[in-house]
Amino acid sequence: MNIELLEIEYPEPVTRKIYMSKLMKEASSRTMSIHKAGAMGVYTGEAGVGKTTTAREICRSLEAKFKSENPKAFLGLHLQFGRIDQGNGAKRALRSVYAASGLLLDEYDYDRLPSEELAAELVEHFRTHRIQVLFADEAGLISPEAIGGLVTLHDVAQYNGWPLTIIFIGMDDLAIKLRRRPQVNRRLKEWIYFKHYNLEDTISLLRVMHPYFDGLDETAKEGRTQFEFIHKITHGLPGNMIPFIDRFDYRYQKRKDGKDITVGFLEGIHFVTQESIKQSVNLSRHVYSDGERNEKSIEKKQSKKEKQKV
Amino acid sequence: MTSGTKTLNPCHEIVFAALEKFHSNSGRAAAVRDVIAMLDESETTLIRQTYSKKLAAVVSSIMVLLKAKGLIDVRRAGEGRCFYVSNRSPGNIEISDVSSNRQTVLSFVKEAVRHHGRAVRAEEVWNWVADRYSGEKISRHLITRNIISLAQTHDLKRLEISGRGFRGNTFYLPAGLPDEEYIPADESNWLERIAACVRTIWERRSSRVAVDECRPLPVTTGEVRCELYETYPEAVEQVAAKRIINSLLYLSAGEQPFLRKISNSERSSVSWVPAGVADTEIAPPEYVYGSDAERIEEATRKAERLYKRPVNRQEVETQIEGNEFLEIKSISGVARLLSDAAKPMVINKLGGKAVRKISYVGSINGKAYYTADTINLGRARQLLDFERLKSDWEKMTIVESLAGVRKSSLPLMQWGQSRLIESQIDGIETRLKTLRTICEKEDRKGEFAILEQNVGFAAGIAHSYKNDLRKSVAQKYDLEYLSEIELSEGAVGLIPAETVKVLQPFYPMARRLTKEYKIVTLLDGAVRRFPNPKFTSRFSKNPHTAAEYLYDRTALLIYTAIHWGNRFARLQAVTARQELGQIRNPNFIFPLLKDPDFTVRLKAVACLAFLAGDGIASTLKEISQTDIEPNVRLAAEWSELLLEGKPENLQQAFKLSR
Q: What pLDDT is stored for residue B408 in this prediction?
A: 87
Read off the pLDDT band of A157 (50, 70, 90): very high
> Which of B567, B598, B629 lies closest to A120 in CB terms?
B567
pLDDT for position A261: 85
Furthest CA-CA distance within chain B: 152
Using the 8-state DSSP alphabet, how is residue A168 labeled? E
pTM value is 0.64
Question: Would the pLDDT of A252 be above 90?
Answer: no
Nearest Cα to B224, choosing from B190, B263, B181?
A: B190
Going by pLDDT thresholds of 50, 70 and 90, the confidence category of residue B554 is: very high
Query: Whose CA is closest to A192, among A83, A305, A40?
Result: A40
In this prediction, residue B164 has a pLDDT band, given cuts at 50, 70 and 90, of: very low
How close, in Å, is residue A69 to chain B by CA atoms? 6
How far is the alpha carbon of A76 from chain B, nearest alpha carbon, in Å? 13
Neighbours of A84 (CB within 10 A): 23
Q: How far apart are CA B607 and CA B597, in angstroms?
A: 16
Amino acid at the residue B374 = T
- Considering only CA atoms, which of A158, A74, A64, A80 is closest in space to residue A119? A158
Residues of B in contact with A120 (CB under 8 A): 567
Residue of higher predicted confidence among B544 and B128: B544
Q: Is A102 on the interface with B (CB under 8 A)?
A: yes
In this predicted structure, the answer to whether residue A307 has a pLDDT above a threshold of 50 is yes
What angle do the packed helices A221-233 and A199-209 form, to 10 degrees? 100
pLDDT digits (tens, 9 = 90+) for A54-106: 999 999 999 999 999 899 999 999 999 988 877 778 999 999 999 998 888 87
The span from the CA of A36 to the CA of A41, in Å, is: 13
Cβ <8 Å between A68 and B598: yes
Identify the pLDDT of residue B268: 63
Residue B502, SS3 per DSSP: helix
Q: Do A124 and B571 touch (CB under 8 A)?
A: yes
* B631–A127 C-beta distance less than 8 A: yes
Q: Tell me the shortest Cα–Cα distance from B566 to chain A, in angstroms.
A: 9
- Chain A positions touching B602 (Cβ under 8 A) are 128-129
Low-confidence winner among B208-222, B239-253, B490-504 (lowest mean pLDDT) = B208-222
For residue A74, the chain B residues in CB contact (below 8 A) are none
- Give the residue among B361, B371, B368 at the shortest CA–CA distance from B307: B371
Alpha-carbon distance B296 to B317, whole Å? 9
Q: Could you tell me which chain B residue has the CA closest to the CA of A127?
A: B631
- Asked if the Cβ–Cβ distance from B562 to A103 is below 8 Å, we say no
Whether B409 sits inside 8 A of A102 (CB atoms) is yes
Asked if pLDDT for residue B93 goes beyond 70, the answer is: no
pLDDT tens sequence across B104-142:
888 889 888 888 788 888 888 887 787 766 545 567 788
Of B477, B424, B418, nearest in space to B455 by CA:
B424
Is the Cβ–Cβ distance between B334 and B341 less than 8 Å?
no
From the number of C-beta atoms within 10 Å of its C-beta (0-12, 13-18, 19+), residue A309 rates as: exposed
Residues of B in contact with A102 (CB under 8 A): 409
Q: Quick check: A100 contacting B, CB < 8 Å?
A: no
* Per-residue pLDDT tens digits for A34-61: 998 789 999 999 888 899 999 999 999 9
Q: Does A69 touch chain B (CB under 8 A)?
A: yes
Single-letter code of the amino acid located at B399: V
In angstroms, rounded to a whole number, what is the distance separating the alpha carbons of residues B273 and A200? 113
Residue B456 is predicted with a pLDDT of 92
Residue type, B147: I
The pLDDT score that the predictor gives to residue B658 is 38
Q: Quick one: DSSP state of residue B190?
A: H
Interface contact A182, partner B, CB < 8 A: no
pLDDT at B168 over 70: no
- The nearest alpha carbon in chain B to A161 belongs to B658
Please tell me the least confidently modeled range out of A180-184, B328-332, B366-370: B328-332
Q: Give the pLDDT of residue B82.
A: 81
Q: Which residue of A has its CA nearest to B577?
A: A104
- Closest among B470, B425, B477 to B451, alpha carbons compared: B425
Q: Is A71 on the interface with B (CB under 8 A)?
A: yes
d(CA B409, nearest CA chain A) in Å: 7
Whether residue B341 has pLDDT greater than 90: no
Question: Looking at CA atoms only, how far is residue A233 from chain B in angstroms?
Answer: 42
Residues above pLDDT 90, as percent of chain B: 26
Per-residue pLDDT, B263: 80
Cα–Cα distances in Å, from B3 out to B12, B31, B67?
Answer: 11, 22, 12
pLDDT exceeds 70 at position A16: yes
Residue B181 has pLDDT above 80, yes or no: no
Q: Which of B562, B599, B630 sits opposite A129 (nearest CB)?
A: B599
Residue A122's SS3 state is helix
Instruction: Tell if the CB–CB gap between A120 and B635 is shorter than 8 Å.
Output: no
B635 vs A128: CB contact, 8 Å cut-off? yes
Q: Given this model, what pLDDT does residue B167 score?
A: 45
Q: What is the pLDDT of residue B3?
A: 47
Q: Which residues of B touch A130 (CB under 8 A)?
A: 631
Q: What stretches of A87-181 show up as alpha helix (H) in DSSP?
A: 89-100, 107-112, 115-129, 144-159, 174-180
* CA nearest neighbour of A101 among A73, A64, A126, A65: A126
Which of A161-175, B113-127, B555-569 comes out lowest in average pLDDT?
B113-127
- Alpha-helical segments (H) within B69-139: 101-116, 122-132
Mean pLDDT to the nearest integer, B322-333: 78
Q: Between B288 and B484, whose confidence is greater?
A: B484
Which of A101, A111, A128, A160 should one mutate to test binding to chain B, selecting the residue with the greatest count of B CBs within 10 A?
A128
Task: Work out the percent of chain A whose per-residue pLDDT is above 90.
Answer: 48
Residue A1 class from Cβ within 10 Å (0-12 exposed, 13-18 middle, 19+ buried)? exposed
Q: Are the CB atoms for B140 and B208 separated by under 8 Å? A: no
Residue B151 pLDDT exceeds 50: yes
Give chain A positions within 8 Å (CB) of B562.
106, 108-109
* Partner residue opposite A106 with nearest CB, options B409, B562, B602: B562
The DSSP annotation for B274-309 comes to ETT--GGGS--GGG--SSHHHHHHHHHHHHHHHHSS
**Residue B557: which pLDDT band, with cuts at 50, 70 and 90?**
very high
**Cβ <8 Å between B574 and A127:** no
* Averaged pLDDT of chain A: 87
Give the ranges where B209-333 is alpha helix by DSSP (H).
209-212, 221-231, 235-238, 241-251, 292-307, 313-320
Residues in B whose CB is inside 8 Å of some CB of A read 407, 409, 562, 567-568, 570-571, 574-575, 577-578, 598-599, 602, 628-632, 635
Beta strands in chain A (DSSP E): 40-45, 75-80, 131-137, 165-170, 188-194
Neighboring chain A residues of B567 at a CB cutoff of 8 Å: 120-121, 124
A125 touches chain B (CB under 8 A): yes
Residue in chain B closest to A64 (alpha carbons) equals B597
* Closest B-chain CA to A101: B409
Q: Is A124 an interface residue toward B (CB < 8 Å)?
A: yes
Mention every residue, 6+ apart, whose C-beta is less than 8 A from residue B10: B46
Beta-bridge mates of residue B160: B170
Half-sphere exposure of B576 (CA within 13 A, CB side): 27
Which amino acid is it at B225?
R
- Which of the two residues, B429 and B210, has the higher pLDDT score? B429
Cα–Cα distance for residue pair B415/B478, rounded to 1 Å: 13
Say what the alpha-carbon torsion angle A54, A60, A63, A66 is, to the nearest 10 degrees. -60
**Is B570 in contact with A130 (Cβ distance < 8 A)?**
no
Instruction: Determine which of A178-182, B342-346, B464-468 has the lowest per-residue pLDDT on average.
Output: B342-346
- Does any CB of chain B come closer than 8 Å to the CB of residue A113? no
Inform me whether the C-beta atom of residue A130 falls under 8 Å from chain B C-beta atoms: yes
Mean per-residue pLDDT over chain B, rounded: 84
* CA distance linking residue A53 with residue A208, whole number of Å: 15
CB B650 within 8 Å of CB B560? yes
Which residues in chain A have their CB less than 8 angstroms from residue B599's CB? 129
Contacts of B406 (CB under 8 A, 6+ apart): B414
What distance in Å separates the CA atoms of residue B542 and residue B365, rounded to the nearest whole number?
A: 21
Higher-pLDDT residue of A299 and B598 is: B598
Tell me how far apart the alpha carbons of residues B544 and B372 are, in angstroms, rounded to a whole number.
35
- Give ∠ CA B306-B307-B312 in degrees, rounded to 5: 115
Reported residue count of chain A is: 310
d(CA B295, CA B329): 10
Residues of A in contact with B571 (CB under 8 A): 103, 121, 124-125, 128
| CB atoms A124 and B635 under 8 Å | no
Minimal-distance CA residue of chain B relative to A160: B658
CA distance B417 to B462: 9
Alpha carbons A187 and A210: distance in angstroms, whole number:
42
Judged against a pLDDT cut of 90, whether residue B315 lies above it is answered with yes
HSE of A132 in the Cβ direction (CA atoms, 13 Å)?
21
Count other C-beta atoms under 10 Å from residue B454's C-beta. Answer: 14
Interacting residues of B504 by C-beta distance below 8 A, sequence separation 6+: B510, B511, B647
**Tell me, what's the pLDDT at B163?**
46
Q: Which of B655, B604, B652, B651 is nearest to B632 (CA)?
A: B604
Asked whether the beta carbons of A187 and A151 are under 8 A apart, the reply is yes
Q: Is A306 on the interface with B (CB under 8 A)?
A: no
pLDDT-wise least confident of B19-28, B446-455, B618-627 = B19-28
CA end-to-end span of chain A? 60
Which chain A residue has its CA at the smallest distance from B630's CA? A68
Pairing, β A40-45 against β A188-194: parallel
A121 CB within 8 Å of a chain B CB: yes
List % helix, strand, coil for chain B (3-state, nearest 5).
60, 10, 30
Check pLDDT > 50 for residue B657.
Answer: no
Alpha carbon B28 to chain centroid, angstroms: 66
As beta bridge partners, residue B274 has B259
B577 contact residues in A (CB cutoff 8 A): 104
Whether residue A125 and residue B570 make contact (CB cut-off 8 A), yes or no, is no
Q: Is B538 helix (H, G, I), strand (E, B) or coil?
A: coil
Q: State the pLDDT at residue B166.
A: 46
pLDDT digits (tens, 9 = 90+) for B22-56: 888 877 788 888 899 889 889 999 999 999 888 98
Rounded CA separation B259/B274 (Å):
4
The amino acid present at A12, given as its one-letter code, is E
Per-residue pLDDT for B272 more than 80? yes
Please report, for residues B386, B391, B441, B604, the alpha-carbon distance to residue B437 in angstroms, rounded to integers and kept in the order given.
Answer: 11, 19, 6, 46
Residue A86, chain B, CB below 8 Å: the answer is no
pLDDT of residue B644: 67
| pLDDT value of residue B310 | 93
Answer whether B574 sits within 8 Å of A128, measured CB to CB. Answer: no
> Dihedral (C-alpha) A173, A175, A180, A185: value to the nearest 10 degrees?
150
B654 confidence band (pLDDT: 50, 70, 90): confident
Whether the pLDDT of residue B610 is over 70: the answer is: yes
**ipTM > 0.90 (yes/no):** no
Strands (E), B324-476: 345-346, 353-354, 359-364, 367-371
What's the gap in Å between the CA of B457 and the closest CA on chain A? 26
Kindly list the residues from chain A whose CB atom is less than 8 angstroms away from the CB atom of residue B574: 103-104, 106
Smallest Cα distance from B575 to chain A, Å:
7
CB pairs under 8 A between A and B: 39
